[in-house]
Amino acid sequence: MTAANEAKAILERLGVDAAVWSGHLPTRSPIDGSTAGSVLETPHVDAVAARSVEAFHAWKRVPAPRRGELVRLLGEELRASKDDLARVVTLEAGKIVSEGLGEVQEMIDICDFAVGLSRQLYGLTLASERPGHHMRETWQPLGPVLVISAFNFPVAVWAWNACLALVCGDPVIWKPSEKTPLTALATQAIFDRALARFGDAPEGLSQVVIGGREAGEALAADPRIPLVSATGSTRMGKAVAQTVAARLGRSLLELGGNNAMIVTPSADLDMAVRAVAFSAVGTAGQRCTTLRRLLVHESVADALVARLKA
């Protein structure tokens, strides 16, 4: 079965609207370079932001534990569709099966984490110099959150941001990498199942914007979106930071890494070899946590190098 046929079968099974993934913007599988599918670009980005603002006005009034219930349901739906979503990650992002499954498991884990936080949005009670008075700190929802994700973790990055944003009362707009739109559409379909079970969530609570750099730039510049969380290259992060700062917005940037590993004389070298190999070449080296600097004590350097060569 071709990547395109397999992806089509999975998307149909998940309930993705065929009109959305039958467009003119191709996505190719890194496995063999074949076309995994073609999607429609989102035509009206401005309307997406407007719907998100409307959703915010309703969602911020929902009690945080109730908002956490939606995320709990999302975790259940992800468990039920774990194999399907992981397979789309493999087909479109080129990850090996274990890494695709691991990424979806990471989404499930962050759902569990966010559900717990939904009952822990604590504030402070402060003393006042005025007799008979006290001050109280209360956290307020911020507004629509834009999540710009990269191709190397096409679904987990969205989950890290979206689950916490939803619990905090903030709708989510997702601009996935143009290299991995199918995984975003599949995830949104799974989220829609959780929404249907939840019952009374506002329209526009989670939206996917398919497109290239221009779509991301338009959303990053939109003053209706107070927070932009972007994952990708340092060059991309600089562009996002400048755009958002120019309108006095807020940004969370997860960019390139420069990671080191230290091997001491007392290290278990067999364990170190496995750690070095996975950190250096896992996900084909395409991740911010990839090993770039290996610092080894001279007393074990030759033995470690010999094991790595073997």
Looking at the fold, whether 163 and 299 belong to one and the same domain comes out as no
Looking at the fold, whether 42 and 81 belong to one and the same domain comes out as yes
Q: Where are the alpha helices (DSSP H) in 60-180?
A: 64-80, 82-93, 97-117, 156-167
Looking at the fold, whether 27 and 169 belong to one and the same domain comes out as yes
**Can you give the CATH number for the domain in which 34 is found?**
3.40.605.10
Please identify, among 214, 234, 254, the residue that sits at the C-terminal boundary of a domain: 254
Looking at the fold, whether 293 and 167 belong to one and the same domain comes out as no
Looking at the fold, whether 232 and 270 belong to one and the same domain comes out as no
Task: Name the domain count of the chain.
Answer: 2
Give the model's pLDDT for residue 17. 87
pLDDT exceeds 90 at position 153: yes
Residue 130's alpha-carbon distances to 125, 127, 213, 253, in angstroms, are: 14, 9, 54, 42
Residue 296 pairs with which residues in a beta bridge? 263
Looking at the fold, whether 164 and 226 belong to one and the same domain comes out as yes
Looking at the fold, whether 69 and 89 belong to one and the same domain comes out as yes
Token reading at 38: 């073609």
List the catalytic residues: 254, 288
Looking at every residue in the chain, the average pLDDT score rounds to 94
DSSP 3-state of 211:
coil
Residue 44 burial (CB count, 10 A): 10
Looking at the fold, whether 287 and 222 belong to one and the same domain comes out as no
- Does 130 map to a domain? no
The larger pLDDT score, comparing residue 44 to residue 22, is at 44
- Does 190 map to a domain? yes
The larger pLDDT score, comparing residue 4 to residue 63, is at 63
Give the model's pLDDT for residue 136. 93
Please identify, among 239, 254, 269, the residue that sits at the C-terminal boundary of a domain: 254
Whole-number percent of the chain with pLDDT over 70: 100
Give the model's pLDDT for residue 288. 82
Please identify, among 216, 238, 254, the residue that sits at the C-terminal boundary of a domain: 254
- Does 129 map to a domain? no
Parent domain of 48: 3-120+141-254
Q: Taking residues 69-84, report their average pLDDT.
A: 99
Looking at the fold, whether 247 and 302 belong to one and the same domain comes out as no
Ranking 25-34, 53-62, 200-209 by mean pLDDT, the lowest is 25-34
Looking at the fold, whether 55 and 18 belong to one and the same domain comes out as yes
Looking at the fold, whether 57 and 107 belong to one and the same domain comes out as yes
- Does 128 map to a domain? no
Looking at the fold, whether 12 and 51 belong to one and the same domain comes out as yes
